[in-house]
Amino acid sequence: MEFVFRRSYRGPLKAVILDWAGTTVDYGSRAPAMIFVEVFKQRGVTITFEEAREPMGMAKKDHIRKITQMKSVAQRWQDIHGQLPSEADVEAMYEEFIPLQLEALADYTDLIPGTRAAISDFQRRGLKIGSNTGYNREMTNILLAEARIQGYEPDSTVCASEVPAGRPEPWMALKNAMEMRVYPMEAIVKIDDTVPGIEEGLNARMWTIGLVQTGNEIGLSEAEIKALAPEILQTRLEQGYQRLSHAGAHYVIDGIWEAPRILDEISNRLNYGERP
């Protein structure tokens, strides 16, 4: 045979799956970064915010493990402790991370500007709204309670601790889809501000939208963003756009407020039979 035929989905979008810190809450994704720095400081090892942010999006224990595997951090650790960090050190730091993060989290739960309007747009389209995160369930419950007060309540919320592995593996996004009973995967859009979050969506065969200005790529609060010189902000944005684009994001935008127009573009592509 010269031709092989396959099914092609040409229906509407059915769902979006949203990250939390840096995407819908905590402008700049500051809460986890500060705690990672503090956990290593308590062990006598100084890490930079850039090092703390590098694995952002992963499950928090995996994140800590990834930091210990950085050559610069491992060398500093060895200089202080006389040996490289072990898995026991990772486990101990994660246990120290949990109460520190729980204590700080409530101060970083404000919805990012534009989130409520975007959520309303998604709902008008009839989309299911899923969410997932590298936080554990206890931390996520704090986010859910605070977000509910502000008018945001997703249809499905999945934590990294509830699946075999967190990002970049696809299991959280797939569990969201299962809980919302939404398929096929090309009818779903994953929106995230981190490289592992984009990779998660790609590995789940979903469309992906990366966010730069409000998330981990720049790592600044809204006030700090506004205080930047325009040329510096533009340079930082371009660097973030390049990084998330290279990670494979189908689209990269500044913040969630731009997502509705991107959903229109994806809907048009689906109508022509395109897949992510």
**60, 61, 128, 175: the active-site residue:** 60
254 catalytic? Reply is no
Cα(131)–Cα(144) distance, integer angstroms: 10
Cα(234)–Cα(268) distance, integer angstroms: 30
- Cβ-contact 37, 52 below 8 angstroms: yes
Cα(53)–Cα(33) distance, integer angstroms: 6
110 catalytic? Reply is no
- Cβ-contact 102, 81 below 8 angstroms: no
Packing angle, helices 60-68 and 30-42, rounded to 10: 50
**14, 19, 26, 190: the active-site residue:** 19
Which residues are the active-site residues? 19, 60
